[in-house]
Structure 1
């Protein structure tokens, strides 16, 4: 009888055991590597990014199958070959670092061979992690380096050799190992590890219970709970789809039981989850890249995002409130709700690491790397405040694996985007495309903004938010800056539209995720989410024109802009839902919409006109409501 260990089934069992073990081992190496470089000694930028990328490539080839339908976490012989190539091409830089630097600009044959291998590995790993769209975009830009002489007009160029292109991509920090991958290798992993560990310790359940305790008793309480919980979770997770799945499995059925229609419940969750990437203190990974591109402290990006994020979530909250009033929905009984103080006593310590993070970023002005490191230390300490949340070796391993796998998409999006940026730098395409946008818009800012928004939405439909921002921002943001938009406002404009592509049909990933839970049509959910989150499509245009809404200006101007903008988003929600005190007529909805647009645009005259229009619409709505009540009361006495 044959030995089971040598049989196909025995071999399969051995492989199934080996691959998860390897994933855990590499994830732990990645975690300890980043903790060491953050807290003890950061390596040279190129070496740091190279090691980070190689470890990510290994995890992708171990965990993700080469073909659709393949089994995850089961590496094949091909995968092990790719892992060996990744180790070889990554080690080549570490071992020959000094020699490469000394002959910079004169690559030898080995440089080119290993560079081609690394580019191929990145494209294959990116395909597995994100799909074909980013691979096609990166491949197109790579091809553009060679076919420039055959392209007529503005986009044509002299063309470059394989040696020149590979050298740019592999042997400098202007290609694969550029700013985007640098951000991923420096501190994105730290923040993802922090949030992954907090989720493993139970922070997600704490935030959900806290949101339920705060919002559950109000009209349409489950929907308001979904908005608040998804905002909380999104601020630390930075992933719309993961946020929908994490909180939506609880909130969507609860909203449906409360009386909301399935498509509306799914839309609320999709909208609230997508906006989480706008929420400080831990926004989407692209926010860190904005700070690096502009050379400003990350806390500046956080501060600039506060008001637009507030307006976005207020618009969603007003929308679900007016819908609840329209349907006559009530809150949940008090006995079904958790006690807020009890929830805070049991899980309030989860908030301490975030407070530490903000303190080191905003007050002490530490770098994101050092601030994230101290927040992780605080997380380890506070985990022992409650015996049920203490970090043990098992939880640490689970958090490390989750963080490593959650980082793969971001890191590979950054590496592939580096191929795009490297190609743009070689060919000068960025300046050409920027000039093309300015020329096509005839120097008209609103038209350039509209074109940029459309491109960011289209890119975001097929790319992760980070990649969509990098690709669009690299090409379009300089054009907006050339037309007078502040640099931070221009990059935030692109970032916001890349984010809300998750709810924009036809490819609305957050809506598709919500549809599976709500059991309704994803397109219907997507269009409803766009209606609920309409402010997200308007506010970026407003702060591009007037940066008061991104906290640029003196206190009183900012305070007035915020107050009028809040009134504006309330009116906007009333207009889209068609209900304020009572059902709004068409003229009332039109006045609310016009008034909201006026107040969202900072300016004393537009604010006054907008407030007058909103007041007229509300007055008419209230008076008609009283007349209706009086009529009903009078009719009740008629025999």
Structure 2
């Protein structure tokens, strides 16, 4: 880092990040969410109405009963049709809808209509489909692959094609990968005409939960909740040497909770927080790394988490409240690690105090906008009252809409709306309608990925690939749980280099989780282990979109920013090993459910949490080279080794780790007497 005493003069930053930097950061959001068209005129109105219709349909299905055989295909029809209208086939045709886009959208609707009108008879003949069944099924699969390509690039469609090729040509593969192979008719029938392929568990979650949470997040954003969370964090944390870093950590938690998007949280926060970080002495790459690390926490922060969290509930057949419960302690430990790194930064680099202009006091902000906190916790409150996750987010959305009218500056429909001409046109421009549109548009990339992931899950189910893969991993690990966990984390990490978190989790949940469960790891611990390592895809090149977006804002080097982000997050990423290597570590997940927690040993949970926190602190000090004061190389090695030992459950490793921490700290305390300056 640069000399903090001259940082402000050398940087010469304005209080706003340049438009060029923000535009470049938006490009990374487009890499994650697709490069959307910006339409005008009647085309923009048509797309808005279609997106609003999608939101209305899903809000209706949250409250009414719609058969699964109807809900999932209609959801996919909406997603595909909007994908072809919102995302261009190539950059040269951006900001317009071409004739082939209309044809693709019409074919998506036709394929779903054909499936629904076929009823139960259609599903019953999936093993011997008719020629028209196969034709529409092939069209549906091709459209899903193209929608994924438009929203997320070539890699995910390519992986899906590899899985489909594996299903078709299994008899030609060497052992142990070989299987009998399937004809095109049989494969298409399974993928298109059952609830095990395209319309399987991933689309089930997308159509019943993810879409509702994106609508909820859109209403929060358009009612001004995001701005309030940032203002609140600035007022609460500003002024002290560690205030800048603490502000990023707190604001990323508050912003990330409802959004669940790492890149969006990084860009939203970075555009206003980077000048503050630069003032107190953060170098460009370090500031970008901290912003990206904070954004990464959005994917693991209740109440929304990332889209993969909804899939965990579906795969494990548990309530979403149980997933939130499991995420509580790991999330606290993640932000504890970030707070430690921020505190060490302030001492290590001698950051100075600086005064930030506060928009208002914490008390005044809370008094004016307290209802935004109500929106944030209402989902959990409704679930604790016994509502299903679907109804909980539905009523939380109602609460968000209703409370927005408590103040004129947050009202989703302006109070003077009914005055003046052009009522219908002005209604389309209200924050309420923009939130309804944004909720549907925001889910398109995830929903398209879920539909494509259905192809992968279908192949794994049809061919038994998951059991074969787990047997191979266990064989390579020699039956060792530790090696199996390491190999599994590497598999998840490698897959995560190429695909988003949601896709990475789905692929690894069906092919890698069985390896852990075969060795006695509970299913909930295995899936949470995979989820947390899938999150690493956000900070791992070449798809490290959060650090790259942060680097665009700070003007730093993307890869150096990525390494700084790893420095901030690596202590917390040893936590998943604790809850798969030993039963006591499952206390970090609060035993996986409310029922198990009722009979749990709370002392054991507290013990493993404190041990993990000490391990994280040791790793933070070791990687930063600073504990009570600057650490020597020997002290750093001891602290890092201690951190790894404390991450491995068992009293021998814990005692050894704590002894090393005590020795390292004692050496720092005694050093001035032994080595006087």
Class of the TM-score when normalised by the shorter of the 2 chains: over 0.9
Q: Does 1:623 align with 2:647?
A: no
Q: Distance in 1 between matches of 2:659 and 2:457?
A: 48
Please report how far the alpha carbon of residue 182 of structure 1 lies from its aligned counterpart in structure 2 after TM superposition. 0.3
Give me the TM-score of the superposition, normalised by structure 1: 0.93
Cα separation, partners in 2 of 1:382 and 1:124, compared to 1, 3 Å:
same
Out of 15, 29, 35, the residue aligned to residue 59 of structure 2 is: 35
Question: Do the aligned partners of 2:222 and 2:412 also contact (CA within 8 Å) in 1?
Answer: no
* Correspondence for 1:384: 405
* Correspondence for 1:86: 108
Q: Distance in 2 between matches of 1:440 and 1:386?
A: 62
Please report how far the alpha carbon of residue 261 of structure 1 lies from its aligned counterpart in structure 2 after TM superposition. 0.6
Q: Does 1:478 align with 2:520?
A: no
* Correspondence for 1:283: 305
Question: Do the aligned partners of 1:461 and 1:509 also contact (CA within 8 Å) in 2?
Answer: no
Please report how far the alpha carbon of residue 625 of structure 1 lies from its aligned counterpart in structure 2 after TM superposition. 5.4
Q: Distance in 2 between matches of 1:226 and 1:69?
A: 38
Superposed counterparts of 1:59-458, under 5 Å: 59-72=82-95, 74-333=96-355, 336=358, 338-361=360-383, 363-392=384-413, 393=427, 394-458=430-494
Q: Distance in 1 between matches of 2:92 and 2:632?
A: 52
Question: Do the aligned partners of 1:217 and 1:331 also contact (CA within 8 Å) in 2?
Answer: yes
Q: Distance in 2 between matches of 1:618 and 1:282?
A: 39
Deviations 1:157-184 (A, max 9, x none): 1111111011100000000000000000
Please report how far the alpha carbon of residue 104 of structure 1 lies from its aligned counterpart in structure 2 after TM superposition. 4.5
Q: Distance in 1 between matches of 2:106 and 2:498?
A: 30
Q: Distance in 2 between matches of 1:134 and 1:331?
A: 47
Q: Distance in 2 between matches of 1:411 and 1:434?
A: 28
* Correspondence for 1:635: none
Question: Do the aligned partners of 1:42 and 1:48 also contact (CA within 8 Å) in 2?
Answer: no
Deviations 1:449-489 (A, max 9, x none): 12221221222222121111001111000111101211111
* Correspondence for 2:637: 590
Q: Distance in 2 between matches of 1:490 and 1:102?
A: 34
DSSP 3-state at the match of 1:330: coil
Q: Distance in 1 between matches of 2:467 and 2:39?
A: 50
Out of 551, 563, 568, the residue aligned to residue 590 of structure 2 is: 551
DSSP 3-state at the match of 1:96: helix
Please report how far the alpha carbon of residue 215 of structure 1 lies from its aligned counterpart in structure 2 after TM superposition. 2.2
Question: Do the aligned partners of 1:275 and 1:312 also contact (CA within 8 Å) in 2?
Answer: yes
Deviations 1:14-62 (A, max 9, x none): 98423212210111111100111102x1311121011111111111111
Cα separation, partners in 2 of 1:332 and 1:119, compared to 1, 3 Å:
same
Q: Distance in 1 between matches of 2:628 and 2:352?
A: 15
Which of 203-212 and 184-193 deviates more?
203-212
Cα separation, partners in 2 of 1:435 and 1:329, compared to 1, 3 Å:
same
DSSP 3-state at the match of 2:454: helix
Q: Distance in 1 between matches of 2:308 and 2:108?
A: 26
| Runs (5+) with no aligned partner, structure 1 | 1-13, 633-639
Q: Does 1:509 align with 2:509?
A: no
DSSP 3-state at the match of 2:49: helix
Give me the TM-score of the superposition, normalised by structure 2: 0.88
* Correspondence for 2:74: 51
Paired residue total:
614
* Correspondence for 1:578: 625
Q: RMSD of aligned C-alpha atoms?
A: 1.8
Question: Do the aligned partners of 2:276 and 2:356 also contact (CA within 8 Å) in 1?
Answer: no
Which of 619-628 and 157-166 deviates more?
619-628
Deviations 1:318-355 (A, max 9, x none): 11210111111134337647411112112221121232
Q: Distance in 1 between matches of 2:126 and 2:185?
A: 12
Question: Do the aligned partners of 2:500 and 2:537 also contact (CA within 8 Å) in 1?
Answer: no
Q: Distance in 2 between matches of 1:201 and 1:476?
A: 41
DSSP 3-state at the match of 2:370: helix
Q: Distance in 2 between matches of 1:626 and 1:85?
A: 79
Q: Distance in 1 between matches of 2:357 and 2:539?
A: 35
| Runs (5+) with no aligned partner, structure 2 | 1-37, 414-426, 592-599
Q: Distance in 1 between matches of 2:673 and 2:243?
A: 26
Q: Distance in 1 between matches of 2:281 and 2:673?
A: 26
| Greater relative contact order (CA < 8 Å, ≥ 6 in sequence) | 2
Deviations 1:82-135 (A, max 9, x none): 111111111112222243145443321221111111111100011000111110
Q: Distance in 1 between matches of 2:124 and 2:504?
A: 35
Q: Distance in 1 between matches of 2:673 and 2:358?
A: 34
